[in-house]
Amino acid sequence: MNFLFFAASTGSASGQPNGTVQLLVSLIPMLLIFVIFYFLFLRPQNKREKKIQQMRNNIQVGDEVTTSGGIIGRVVSIREDTVVLETGSDRSKIRIKRWAIQSNETIHENEESK
């Protein structure tokens, strides 16, 4: 008998708004975690990737670059998606993909003014 009284007293008269409020209250922490995750991890990673892609697109003949494998060389020629590097004192040439370039060690005048 006490159980029926307890169940009847905890239910709301309209039922629907209470369920909606509970749903919103349970989703707010998940949304907050997603927003924090976006601003702490995803957004900086996207900015970093855009900066690296811009660096790869702005490579010029004569630049000294480092590949992701650690090879250091001077750019001899540039094609659409490949770059030819000249390495070492014996001037050996290596053709690599543009995405394999990790950093550009040459500083250009237009970058200094920024």
Task: Work out the number of other CB atoms within 10 angstroms of the CB of residue 8.
Answer: 8
- pLDDT tens for each residue of 34-91: 999 999 999 999 999 999 999 999 999 999 999 999 999 999 999 999 999 999 889 8
Check residue 57 and give its pLDDT.
Answer: 93
Does the pTM exceed 0.85? no
In angstroms, the CA 114 to CA 112 distance is 6
SS3 (DSSP) at 78: strand
Strands 82-87 and 92-97: antiparallel
pLDDT of 9 strictly over 90? no
